[in-house]
Amino acid sequence: MTHDYSRGKTKRLAASFCPFCFTVLDAASGLGHENYPQPGDFTICIKCAGVLRFREDMSIEPSSLESIPTHSRMKFAQMVTHVKAFIEYLQREKSSPKS
Ligand SMILES: [Zn+2]
């Protein structure tokens, strides 16, 4: 089975706070070329890698890997790992001295 990890369409959202790190989130991208984020979808905070879920009105609520259906939990866990690595990379870039 292959997964399409390419970034899909970005949807502008009403600004809301990540319940874990309080970063303002106002957009989300789906996975796959034609995928918009939908109500009920899970998402990942780009600042803290917290697992979130869209409500019907596309505001976000805290969630967890354990809440994700088992058939897609592994794929999502891998994405969380990628986001964490990306966050760490950005932090290293920010803290490294400029040459
Ligand atoms: Zn966050």
List, for residues 30-51, the tens digit of each pLDDT value: 776 567 788 999 999 999 999 9
Which amino acid is residue 80, in one-letter code?
A: V
Ligand 1 mean position to 45 CA, how many Å?
A: 5
DSSP 65: G
Residues in Cβ contact with 62 at an 8 Å cutoff, skipping those fewer than 6 apart: 19, 20, 50, 51, 52, 53
Question: What is d(CA 18, CA 21) in angstroms, rounded to the nearest whole number?
Answer: 6
Residues with CB under 5 A from ligand 1 (ion): 18, 20-21, 23, 45, 47-48, 50
Q: What pLDDT sits at residue 78?
A: 95
70 C-alpha to ligand 1 centroid (Å) = 23
**Rounded Cα gap, residues 69 and 73, in angstroms:** 6
Question: For position 11, what pLDDT does the model report?
Answer: 80
Structural domains in the chain, CATH included, are: 7-95 (2.20.28.160)
**For residue 14, pLDDT beyond 90:** no
Compute, in angstroms, the gap from residue 97 CA to the centroid of ligand 1: 26
Q: How far is the CA of 12 from the centre of ligand 1 (A)?
A: 17
DSSP for 15-32 reads: EEE-TTT--EEEEEEEES
Please tell me the predicted confidence (pLDDT) of residue 35: 72
Tell me the pTM.
0.81
**Looking at residue 1, what is its pLDDT?**
41
> pLDDT at residue 61 above 50?
yes
